[in-house]
Amino acid sequence: MENISTIGLDIAKSVFQVHAISEAGEVVVRRQLKRRQVLQFFAALRPCLIGVEACATAHHWARELIKLGHEVRLMPPRYVKPYVKRNKNDAADAEAISKAGNRYLRQLLVVGALAVIRRAKQLGYTRYPWLVKLMERRSVKIAAVALANKMARIAWAMMARNEPYRAPLPA
């Protein structure tokens, strides 16, 4: 279970549903946990992003998971509902929560890439010649997605190697 990047956790009265996915988007864990097993399960994991549908006890569980080193995001039920593919149940909710967390991260990367492109237009494109060539052939949004993908790969490499960011030298 060392390659878990995002977990969707659906909280219920006595049984919790866990849906964990890897960085590649593959399902790694899909299981139920009894209330007494939850903290023990999450204590055994490396810190990761955990999405929890906001409910009466969500704040309590978020605090407990944060104490274990995890990053927890509470999401309103209306943000989770569009991701539920089939009947409403705990397993479907947990899967939907995990997908919503990934979508949010992708959106942040694309917004950041659009900001980089906007700033590059103001200052000139000296740092990213590959981006200039791509923007000659494709739209700004396609270029932003490509840059966001590159940023995600850089961030992953930094975390995997535990290294600080080193800006590429200008060509």
60-109 confidence digits (pLDDT tens): 999 999 999 999 998 887 776 655 555 555 566 666 666 667 677 888 88
Closest CA to 155 of 115, 106, 98, 104: 106
Instruction: Return the number of other C-beta atoms located less than 10 Å from residue 70's C-beta.
Output: 19
Tokens of 107: 């959106």
For residue 17, the cross-strand partners are: 10, 32
Among candidate residues 65, 80, 104, the one where a domain is terminated: 104
pLDDT band at 49 (very low <50, low <70, confident <90, very high): very high
> Which pLDDT value is given to residue 94?
63
pLDDT of residue 70: 95
Q: Mean pLDDT check: name the lowest of 93-102, 132-141, 160-169.
A: 93-102
CATH number of residue 49's parent domain:
3.30.420.10
In a domain, 166, yes or no: no
34 & 90 share domain:
yes
99 and 111 belong to one structural domain? no
3-44 pLDDT per residue, tens: 899 998 988 888 999 999 888 888 899 999 999 999 999 999
94, 120: one domain: no
Angle at 20 between CA 14 and CA 160, to 5 degrees: 140
Would you state the pLDDT for residue 133?
84
Domain-located, residue 65: yes
| Count of domains for the chain | 2
Res 136: pLDDT: 85
Same domain, 78 and 135: no
pLDDT at 168 over 90: no
Domain boundary among 56, 82, 104: 104
Q: Residue 92 belongs to what domain range? A: 4-104
| Bridge partners, residue 138, by sequence | none
